[in-house]
A and B are shown apart, each in its own frame.
Chain A
Amino acid sequence: MKTIAVVLVLAALMAVTAISGCTQTDTGPSGELTAEQMEDEAYKAVEQEMDLLEDMSLEDLENELFT
């Protein structure tokens, strides 16, 4: 019985440590993105949008601008 109790206490402590470590490292306190992560994600979205513009052929661009 004592063995089970010790194992339970140890496991509970490990669980608390693991959960708190995870949330603090990878996300904000409640799992949401940090401000820095959000800014990075937004920046990537704008980069992708600019790549799309880059991929437009000159003909597409002419059609966009002059029709």
Chain B
Amino acid sequence: MAITVALLILAVPVLAQTPELTSAKNINKHIWTRGAFGSGIAISQSDPMNFELLKLGIAGVKLVTEDAESVVKTGVLYFGEDKYRLRDVVIGNATASATIYYNDTQVGTISLDSYLKGDREIWAGTLTLNGETYNAYIIQIPKVVRAVEKAKYIYQYCKDHPVICRGVMKAVGSEICDPEGDGTTCLDQIKAYCEDNPDEARCKALRIAYCKMHPEDADCRAEMTGVCQNDNTDNACRVLTAVYNKNIQKRPTVADKMPEWFHTIRAKIANAGPTTAAGV
């Protein structure tokens, strides 16, 4: 009897440990906010012939465990063949900065602003590494965002703003379902529908609605740029113009090469005066 009881009790800690260890390993992670992501070149400010190839990835990664979810910002930098880890990452609206580490030792910093050249996003700024300062240029590689990933944004948007979500759907057609009344069931339904029909008007409208609230995400800026090339009256173009305008004010000469729709909206905002411009 005593032995049986003892064995049962001894099993308790083993059983208790298992979920803890499992939950630590069951991590669902995916890129949530894309900052600078691409390849480019660094040119020394003191010697223009001292240059090096760059590869850069800066992102906010969403980590989901059984108990919690959070977004952690981090990054990877290749300077030639050397690989560095980025910490203290800040992803702003068309801006990105970080400190550079090699084996837990800080060896530099990077600070970039993004600009549009045609429909391409180009990052430009300063890289300081091992005491040398470079001008850095990165060509953003557009991610081919799959329908499943796009639908995740829509799910999040409708979860956070069920009433507006319903309104956006109704504005371009009928609602798929009522996210406020039907709750999670409807959210799953919208997600499944938009995975299967990513180009349907309601799904596109919901995605753009999400992106207008998240211009810090390069994928969202790319999505909105696509809209503005075809229709510069969409409110997304005002959001995008306001974002890039801040970088243009730092480097006015870059404005010449910005796309036509940008200049059109920029002029409209300027003509409308400070009140409307601030409300963009």
Contact = CB atoms under 8 A, between A and B. Distances in A.
Interface of A: 3-4, 7-8, 11-12, 14-15, 17-19, 22-23, 26-27, 30-33, 37-39, 41-47, 49-50, 53, 56, 61, 64-65
Nearest to B73: A42
A8 B7 CA distance: 10
Contacts of A14: 10, 13
B20 A31 contact: yes
B13 A19 contact: yes
A45 B20 contact: no
B13 A18 contact: yes
Contacts of B24: 26-27, 31, 33, 37
Given A11-B9, A18-B13, A22-B20, 15 more contacts: A19-B16, A31-B20, A32-B65, A37-B24, A41-B27, A41-B63, A42-B63, A42-B72, A43-B74, A43-B76, A44-B29, A45-B31, A46-B31, A46-B57, A64-B144
Interface string B9-27: 1101110110111011001
Categorize the interface residue count of chain B.
35 or more
Nearest to B24: A27
Nearest to A66: B120
Contact of B70 (A31, A38, A45, A65): A38
B210 interface: no
A9 to B, nearest CB: 10
Contacts, number: 117
B31 to A, nearest CB: 6
A10 to B, nearest CB: 8
Contacts of B85: 43
A49 B37 contact: yes
A39 B74 contact: yes
A42 B19 CA distance: 22
B141 interface: yes
Contacts of A49: 31, 37, 57, 59
B76 A47 contact: yes
B1 interface: yes
B192 interface: no
Nearest to B1: A4
A61 B39 CA distance: 11
B145 interface: no
A49 to B, nearest CB: 6
Contacts of A30: 67
B2 interface: yes
Contacts of A19: 13, 16-17
B74 A50 contact: no
B160 to A, nearest CB: 22
- Pairs of residues from A and B, 10 with the lowest C-beta to C-beta distance, nearest first: A18-B13, A11-B9, A42-B61, A42-B72, A15-B13, A7-B6, A50-B57, A45-B61, A42-B74, A31-B20
